[in-house]
Amino acid sequence: MSVSDIQKETFRNLLEQIRSQVTLLKKQNKELSRENLKLKSKLDQIQKKQTDIFSSISESERIAMRHKVNGLIEKIDKHLEG
């Protein structure tokens, strides 16, 4: 067998290995895409079930909470400045 024939055979073997790897990676990609879709669907369902923390309280409670938070921020600012 000549050097050229050996090189050709080596090239064919390597090319076949590459094809096998590409096929395997395509299959894994397809499976991961399916799993990703399932997870996105689950996430959407969970998010729909959750309610916003502010949607369950009245407007007056929201305003009171905002004032408390602003007061805390002011105290922290004064503490950091002093």
Section 16-29 average pLDDT = 97
Nearest-angstrom CA–CA distance, 67 and 70: 5
pTM given for the model: 0.52
Query: 24 and 57 in one domain?
Result: no
- The stretches of 1-82 forming alpha helices (DSSP H) are 3-49, 59-81
Q: Which two tokens stand for residue 51?
A: 């309610």
Query: 35 and 5 in one domain?
Result: yes
* Residue 82 DSSP SS3: coil
pLDDT tens digit sequence for 43-70: 998 887 777 666 777 888 889 999 999 9
- The parent domain of residue 58 ranges over 53-82
Query: 2 and 31 in one domain?
Result: yes
